[in-house]
Structure 1
Amino acid sequence: MEERKQSRYVKLTKDQVPLEDITPGELNQPIEVPQLAVHKCMECGQPLPESYTPPSDEPWMTGICGCAEDKDNCLTGLFCPCVLFGRNVESLHEETPWTGPCICHAIFVEGGIALATATAIFNGVIDPGTSFLIFEGLFFTWWMCGIYTGQVRQNLQKKYHLKNSPCDPCCVHCCMHWCALCQEHREMKGRLSDNVFSETTVVNAPPIQEMKSSDDKENPETSSANDTEHTGLELQPV
């Protein structure tokens, strides 16, 4: 007897594990090609290397000591620096509410200043060793706050390609914290498009136009006579 040839088809049974369901359109998703995602120059269109960073050579709109140019900003930064810092963070990062940075600034900066003032007042009551530890902890806290607020200033400089004014962002906040907050607020206030006045365009509606048929144009006298006849009719109840 002739041997049966092996079938080239695969038999499917009920015990076979079902395949994974594929939703419509799942296989038509775009594929990210790293070679095509290349940064290009805005002026000449040439590809730029991955490590390229735009030069930070843009000057600040106001100086570090120009607090008097905006009196409201100056008063807020002097008496409520935590509120001004929260507003700066919210303007820079829209997804971050201003309350979180404001509370953190109030606890560590204003709270540290209050603790340092109380320690200096009760210097004779508190043990000198304890006072030294308190001031050492406050100095470390101030240094950490300078790093945190300096990171916000550095992000602002990267966003608008601003140069260091007058020195490194962390050093600026450690030495001139209140002036730096006011300068950052003035910079964002001057550069954000929401604060730029734009003139509104007033569009007037066209006048009402009446359509006339060709018969009315040719015989204007007959049309006026018909109008008078229609207006002379009166309706009487039966």
Structure 2
Amino acid sequence: MEEGGPQSRYVKLTKDQAPLEDIKPGELNQPIDVPQLHVRKCNECGQALPESFEPPANEPWTTGIFGCAEDTESCWTGLFCPCVLFGRNVESLREDTPWTTPCICHAIFVEGGIALAAATAVFHGIDPRTSFLICEGLLFSWWMCGIYTGLFRQSLQKKYHLKNSPCDPCAVHCTMHWCALCQEHREMKGRLSDDVVMPMTVVNPPPVQEMNSARNGNGNGMAPSSAKSEEHTNLEMQAL
């Protein structure tokens, strides 16, 4: 275009027109901070909670840890077969877990360690060589009793919002294992009995009824002589 001609509307771009900005790798993929999304969430499901939500207060245990005599059945079961009582407790808390699985685990780790120590003392006597094996078996049973059953007690407290014991749940089972099993069984037994569905009154529907009406052409109440002139209307009533 000639220099003396009219000025063009287009701007000629050159390399020196604007400086180039240096963009670091990943700079454009940074997360955006949205203050409206900073809300409290449920620890179990992760859903957002309203601002007015208040967590339920911790409730006391319905029975004390030394109230074993209040439920005779669980008391005798926990005394002679603690593995069976522990399996029933786990099944009541977790419906997808049969009672046989925790019962077998309890029998192997707890009763098995005690039986191993007793068998070592009976067949090999108590001397410096066997004392180490006996103490090792008892220590293993004591440690597994506190860890395995203490985690279950912690889940029970979390589900029913029960107040924590004076000491850790694992320490409760390490010191008073049989009493703790009976207390947990009584707690779930009392709470599950409150959720029993009340019996409903069942009303049986009436039997099926049929109504037949014959319409005659002459209206005198007499049956027609021809079968073609007879019309039957069947009405059937059924209960939905």
TM-score normalised according to structure 1 size:
0.60
Structure 1 counterpart SS, 2:96: coil
Whether 2:78 is the aligned partner of 1:77: answer yes
From the superposition, tell whether residues 129 and 73 of structure 1 become closer, same or farther in structure 2 (CA, over 3 Å).
same
Deviates more, 1:76-85 or 1:201-210: 201-210
- Using the TM superposition, give the Cα deviation of residue 184 of structure 1 relative to its aligned residue in structure 2, in angstroms: 0.9
From the superposition, tell whether residues 206 and 37 of structure 1 become closer, same or farther in structure 2 (CA, over 3 Å).
farther
- Using the TM superposition, give the Cα deviation of residue 91 of structure 1 relative to its aligned residue in structure 2, in angstroms: 1.8
- Using the TM superposition, give the Cα deviation of residue 164 of structure 1 relative to its aligned residue in structure 2, in angstroms: 1.9
Please, which of 45, 51, 66 is the counterpart of residue 46 of structure 1? 51
From the superposition, tell whether residues 209 and 95 of structure 1 become closer, same or farther in structure 2 (CA, over 3 Å).
closer
Structure 2 counterpart SS, 1:165: coil
Deviation per residue, 1:121-166 (Å, 9 max, x gap): 467x343232134213421431232111100000010001001235
Whether 2:64 is the aligned partner of 1:59: answer no
Whether 2:113 is the aligned partner of 1:112: answer yes
From the superposition, tell whether residues 38 and 174 of structure 1 become closer, same or farther in structure 2 (CA, over 3 Å).
same
- Using the TM superposition, give the Cα deviation of residue 206 of structure 1 relative to its aligned residue in structure 2, in angstroms: 6.7
From the superposition, tell whether residues 97 and 209 of structure 1 become closer, same or farther in structure 2 (CA, over 3 Å).
closer
Unaligned ranges ≥5, structure 1:
1-33, 214-222, 231-238
Structure 2 counterpart SS, 1:192: helix
The separation in 1 between residues aligned to 2:139 and 2:57, in whole angstroms, is 31
For 1:11-160, list aligned pairs within 5 A. 35=37, 39=41, 45-46=50-51, 54=55, 57-121=58-122, 125-160=125-160
The separation in 2 between residues aligned to 1:172 and 1:56, in whole angstroms, is 22
Does the CA contact (< 8 Å) of 2:121 and 2:134 recur in 1? no
Deviates more, 1:169-178 or 1:159-168: 159-168
Does the CA contact (< 8 Å) of 1:189 and 1:195 recur in 2? no
The separation in 2 between residues aligned to 1:107 and 1:56, in whole angstroms, is 37
Structure 1 counterpart SS, 2:157: helix
Q: Which has the higher strand share?
A: 2
Larger radius of gyration: 2
Aligned AA for 1:168?
Answer: D
Does the CA contact (< 8 Å) of 1:146 and 1:174 recur in 2? yes
Aligned to 2:231: none
Aligned length: 180
Structure 1 counterpart SS, 2:98: coil
The separation in 2 between residues aligned to 1:139 and 1:56, in whole angstroms, is 37
From the superposition, tell whether residues 63 and 168 of structure 1 become closer, same or farther in structure 2 (CA, over 3 Å).
same
Deviation per residue, 1:47-95 (Å, 9 max, x gap): 67xxx9x466211121111222222211211111111111111222222
Q: Which has the higher helix share?
A: 1
The separation in 2 between residues aligned to 1:175 and 1:102, in whole angstroms, is 20
Does the CA contact (< 8 Å) of 1:56 and 1:158 recur in 2? no
Q: Percent identity?
A: 72
Unaligned ranges ≥5, structure 2:
1-35, 43-48, 214-218, 224-240
The separation in 2 between residues aligned to 1:96 and 1:208, in whole angstroms, is 46
Deviation per residue, 1:158-216 (Å, 9 max, x gap): 001001235321111011111111111121122226862513224364799999x9xxx
Aligned AA for 2:171?
Answer: C
Does the CA contact (< 8 Å) of 2:113 and 2:140 recur in 1? no
From the superposition, tell whether residues 143 and 56 of structure 1 become closer, same or farther in structure 2 (CA, over 3 Å).
farther
Does the CA contact (< 8 Å) of 2:114 and 2:141 recur in 1? no
Higher relative contact order (CA 8 A, sep 6+): 1
